[in-house]
């Protein structure tokens, strides 16, 4: 672990700064925005690698040239550090636009142009780094805490005995969560939407829970789903996977998927799994 090197790059607004801070929290020395020519010198010096090292690289870096970095700089780094990894943080264009708009930040290569133009220009430059990355993480559906948790679970020296599960509920009408490893469709359950007094509620409400549990289809199917997931999780861990995303969908993403996701979260926690829950389309 003492000589570990992780290069963190990706789209502006995709969470590189948060990821670097999370690396620092788990014991890495985190350095951002270095001139590219310095990085091979830094990673080849024994004095620099007394701690694991996380280095941020993006389009703001001095003399940034994606082609030169992937063809010259990256091979030099890996020559001295064969296990060096490059993490690329990806994100949907519309979500990047929303993030820049909400925070009122300028895009680093805006030059007075519309933000979306800058995002598209940056993507055309950064795609060559994405192609060379060891890990590509799409943060479009991640909260700040979920991104921090992902970094901790994938890069912490204690990850061997940890396994992190993220559960999403979602609406099929609004598309699949892009980071899903396993997807389950619960639209076969009775839909509370068609009961007027239940329609304004969501799957976290007791009345919705009782309604869905009263459906004869729920107990046998949920039991099989629960047992399947409990059988799969140790197998993913054995394969070296430390982060798994399970997505559960229904038509509107408000009632059935939310209740099943809540129930699964509670049951997995009883088995001592680390679980986070995201209701993407509630509200």
Is 171's pLDDT higher than 50? yes
Q: Kindly tell me if the per-residue pLDDT of 177 is higher than 70.
A: yes
pLDDT score, position 17: 93
Tell me the β-bridge partners of 56: 8, 32
What's the pLDDT at 159? 45
Find the mean pLDDT for residues 195-213: 95
Whole-angstrom distance, CA of residue 59 vs CA of residue 9? 9
Determine the Cα–Cα distance for residues 275 and 269; give it in Å rounded to an integer: 7
- Which pLDDT does position 210 carry in this prediction? 96
Q: Which residues of 121-157 are buried (b: 16+ CB within 10 A; e: fewer)?
A: bbbeebeebbebbeeebbbebbeeebbbbbbbbbbbe
In this prediction, residue 3 has a pLDDT band, given cuts at 50, 70 and 90, of low
3-state SS of 80-95 is: HCCCCEEEEEECCHHH
> Residue 176 has which token pair?
């699949």
Q: What is the mean pLDDT of the chain?
A: 89
Percent of the chain with pLDDT over 70: 94
Angle in degrees, CA 61, 63, 64, rounded to 5:
55
């Amino acid at each position: 672990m003492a000589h570990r090197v992780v290069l963190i790059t990706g789209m502006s607004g995709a969470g590189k700064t948060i990821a670097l801070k999370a690396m620092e929290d788990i014991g890495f020395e985190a350095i951002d925005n270095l001139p590219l020519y310095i990085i091979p010198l830094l990673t080849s010096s024994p004095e620099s690698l007394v701690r694991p090292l996380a280095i941020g690289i993006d389009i703001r870096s001095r003399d940034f040239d994606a082609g030169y970095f992937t063809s010259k700089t990256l091979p030099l780094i890996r020559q001295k550090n064969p296990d060096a990894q490059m993490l690329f943080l990806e994100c949907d264009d519309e979500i990047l636009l929303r993030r820049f708009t909400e925070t009122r930040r300028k895009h680093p290569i805006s030059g007075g142009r519309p933000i979306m133009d800058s995002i598209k220009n940056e993507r055309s430059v950064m795609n060559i780094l994405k192609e060379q990355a060891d890990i590509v993480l799409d943060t479009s559906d991640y909260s700040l805490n979920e991104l921090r948790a992902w970094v901790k679970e994938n890069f912490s020296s204690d990850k061997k005995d940890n396994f992190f599960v993220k559960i999403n509920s979602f609406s099929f009408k609004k598309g699949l969560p892009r980071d899903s490893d396993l997807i389950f469709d619960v639209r076969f359950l009775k839909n509370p939407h068609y009961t007027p007094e239940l329609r304004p509620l969501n799957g976290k409400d007791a009345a919705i829970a009782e309604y869905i549990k009263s459906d004869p289809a729920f107990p046998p199917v949920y039991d099989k789903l629960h047992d399947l997931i409990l059988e799969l999780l140790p197998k993913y861990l054995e394969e070296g996977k430390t982060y798994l995303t399970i997505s559960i969908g229904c038509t509107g993403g408000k009632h059935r998927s939310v209740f099943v996701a809540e129930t699964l979260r509670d049951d997995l926690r009883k088995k001592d799994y680390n679980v986070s829950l995201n209701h993407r389309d509630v509200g």
